[in-house]
Structure 1
């Protein structure tokens, strides 16, 4: 009886231990399932974030589309304009931030400065730059699967210090799933060169042509202040003369200029010549104005005084432009 009792006690104790073990297994499995669910959720949020960036790029491209269609096939400088919307990926900044979270002195695939950058350029950059949201999410998931063990191996924190290690793991995860290195960039290009990189003269002519061409249905007066600062004479004649003539049929164009070449070459209908009088101390100079068409002899004389080349140059331009004098 005693032996039976001891055996029963052992069985009971064994069953209790087994139940405890099974409970531990259940808790571990539940925790593992929760971890997997959270990882899946994080990947989904990452994909949605990427999709939002791609959506922004598509939206911008759509906004440019009417203008792109409008200038398509235009002669001269306008026909060389293109509108570019793209994803700009700063993979160097992303890798630099990641290198601060690992010990690049330890043995591993990311040993030495630049190793992480090289891996990112190979495994992630192509997807970041041109891939869909799903392709980018899959590329990052694969990058994690292949390198998670390496990140742990090259961790800056020892696993024995649970609090610090968890903080490091959270920071590493936040870096891996960050999107602040992916931006949407848009630009206007002229003959394949971004407009900011053009010479002042070329940039000026391109922007002015855009101003004159964008609003085909706009009949409000357009004021252009001293365009000669960025335009060379050849550009004025080659590109602007005909454009001014077309535009002034539907809207008034007012050009403020010190360059009489611009007045004559664009065949101005009305010329207003301003002259400053004596400048008294502490006061603005007095201003006088005279106006009229180029057919007016007084206006023509004033213009010839300002015009480079004087009256002969004026007559030559008038003949070329078929001005009625």
Structure 2
């Protein structure tokens, strides 16, 4: 895949139209003519990620500033297939009829950042992985499932917690009920209550318990319906209205079917909201009927209590207390069943989640093996000066960062505790310990005292465990440069040395689009004319590089397939010339801009020739 054409509609580069070629394309021009702006427009237009947050912010701002309300239009080509990607400053993402392949765009400061940052070094290796798309897609899908299952478990745990609180409030009610029933039995015998009276008391107490259980069921059901209604309202509020088809886009509205689908989706949501509302009304009706039944039952109970009070003062109050306790015992039984049901659901979901987590671990092993193979292949390709080492699951920084964020607001010393946990417990182990309040598991794994472990589990129970379960634990990559007789990690190298490590990796990835703003920055000419130029000359036919440069060695010795000279009148940047290297106008553009003019070039050449002849003589 390569960029065939870039057009700009509006802003500083308005009416810019460049047809790029496969191979090496070099943008030249004085400062302020739009080279960097064009690089950032390509990044913006294709939605390419930046290696640093600072580069992402500055690049996005520059692209929007250059467009000034306009848009960038990029034509991509893959074999005989062509498609167009467009984006204006209002678009959150590029608009494309098909997925946009991975593109690497690097601003001036980003090359050395690739070598300095762990994520950048990993991305450098991943560019060579043949299985990357499929493995990463499967991994991301499994991680999304982990988040969903953990969120579902969290919801059920919250329900169970509420149920347990209600059960706790009913603690001792069975024993109290047994005592009151025994007292009621003795009393009814002592006052010689009739058989019918005894049956009425028993029947009404049983019926009151049944009505109480029903009321609890109705209340819980109504609460769930309200929650579902609120969730659907949020979804309905997120459905965006599709814009009208403007006449400037043609007479035929090509979005008619899409708009119909949008209307159909909105109608389905409204219908679902209506169904839930009707269900709520049905519950309200059942609650009213239950209230009437309770009033009737209570009226009958009052009549019986009056009859019993005539036989013995206090008998009616005793049966009333027995009635209340019967209701509470019935409620307790239902709550215990609900709590058991929630435990079973949690166990099923946790088992399912463990299987998904196992698949995630398998995918990560596959990733590691693929990266290790890449490192081995690069050793042969790049020679002895550069070395690569892949450490399995060696990058826990993001997991640690998520833990630190989760612990903020607690009294825990999270700066030391978070890395300790990240190194000793996998996200799944930690989440399961928190969900089950398994303080001992945290104590033993992290080697901290039980009080501190209890604080950890208690605090994390109030946090979003979906973020924890999906915390990325990725492989770490170290890059080394032979400096004298020792290999040094890029962490310990100068900016220029980091660039000399990173660029050979970037240029060795054949078949991908690489866009760099001034790759020669921080490099000496010896490296440029040696390593960099040799890599450019060895490029494959299906590679495409788009470089903005001020160094003549890159287009000339790199045998550029296209040289584009940009110029500006102060208000607008434009293409002054676009042509192949062998064209006279191209050579004139290179010498005037990059060599100080033809005369300066000749004088330098004459000077070097005379000095070198004297030395050789």
Kindly tell me: are residues 205 and 280 of structure 1, through their superposed partners in 2, closer, same or farther at Cα, counting changes over 3 Å? same
> For 2:505, which of 194, 198, 210 is the aligned residue?
210
Tell me what 1:236 maps to: 528
Q: Please name the residue that 2:422 is paired with.
A: 125
Partners of 2:359 and 2:351 lie apart in 1 by 12
Distance 1:221 1:144, change over 3 A: closer
**SS in structure 2 opposite 1:240?**
helix
Which residue does the alignment assign to 1:110? Answer: none
Aligned to 1:6: 190
CA shift at 1:201, angstroms? 2.3
Cα 1:212/1:305, change in 2 over 3 Å? farther
* SS of alignment partner, residue 227 of structure 1: coil
Shift of residue 119 of structure 1? 6.0
Equivalent position of 2:465 in the other structure: 177
SS of structure 2 residue aligned to 1:190: strand
Q: 1:72 matched to which residue of 2?
A: 379
Confirm or deny: 8 A CA contact 2:435 2:461 kept in the other structure.
no
Deviation at 1:62, TM superposition (A): 6.7
How many residue pairs match? The answer is 266
Alpha-carbon contact 2:404-2:414 (below 8 Å) kept? no
CA-CA distance at 1:210 after TM superposition: 2.4
CA distance in structure 2 between the partners assigned to 1:282 and 1:4 by the alignment: 104
Residue 241 to residue 30, structure 1, CA distance change in 2 (3 Å): same
Q: Is 1:224–1:255's contact at 8 Å kept on the other side of the alignment?
A: yes
Superposition TM-score, scaled by structure 2 size: 0.31
TM-score (norm 1): 0.50
Residues of 2 paired with 1:40 and 1:78: CA distance? 54
Change (3 A) 1:132 1:206: same
Question: Superposition RMSD on alpha carbons, in Å?
Answer: 6.1
For 1:280 and 1:289, locate their aligned partners in 2 and report how far apart those are by CA, in whole Å: 20
- Equivalences for residues 244-283 of structure 1 within 5 A: 244-247=536-539, 257-259=549-551, 266=557
**1:284-309 deviations in Å (ceiling 9; x for gaps):** 89875447xxxxxxx99875545697
Partner of 1:311: 609
The corresponding residue for 1:27 is 334
SS of the equivalent of 2:408 reads helix
Paired residues of 1:221 and 1:251 also in contact (CA < 8 A): yes
Change (3 A) 1:185 1:4: closer
What residue ranges of structure 2 are gaps of 5+ in the alignment?
1-186, 206-321, 443-449, 481-487, 578-584, 589-596
Equivalent-residue separation in structure 2 for 1:244 and 1:62 (angstroms): 29
Check 1:301–1:179 CA distance in 2 against 1; reply closer, same or farther (3 A cut). same
Summarize deviations over 1:91-132 as a string: whole Å, max 9, x none: 2212115x2xxxxxxxxxxxxx2257766655x43344xx38
Q: Does the C-alpha gap of structure 1 residues 142 and 255 become closer, same or farther in structure 2, counting only changes over 3 Å? A: closer
Distance 2:415 2:566 in 1: 63
Q: Which moved more, 1:86-95 or 1:268-277?
A: 268-277
| CA displacement at 1:231 relative to structure 2 | 1.6
Counterpart pick for 1:190 among 447, 457, 479: 479
Distance 1:273 1:31 in 2: 73
Alignment of 1:92-107 (within 5 A): 92-97=404-409, 99=410
- For residues 146-185 of structure 1, give each alpha carbon's deviation from its aligned partner in whole angstroms, at most 9, with x where no partner exists: 59x979x99xxxxxxxxxxxxxx9x963516342582356
Query: 1: CA distance between counterparts of 2:202 and 2:612?
Result: 114
1:212 is displaced (CA, Å) by 2.6
Answer whether contact 1:272 1:290 (CA < 8 A) is retained: no
Counterpart CA distance in 1 for 2:347 and 2:192 is: 47
Which secondary structure does the structure 1 equivalent of 2:375 belong to?
A: helix
Structure 2 distance, partners of 1:247, 1:47, is 46
Give the CA deviation at 1:52: 7.6
Q: CA deviation at 1:71?
A: 0.9
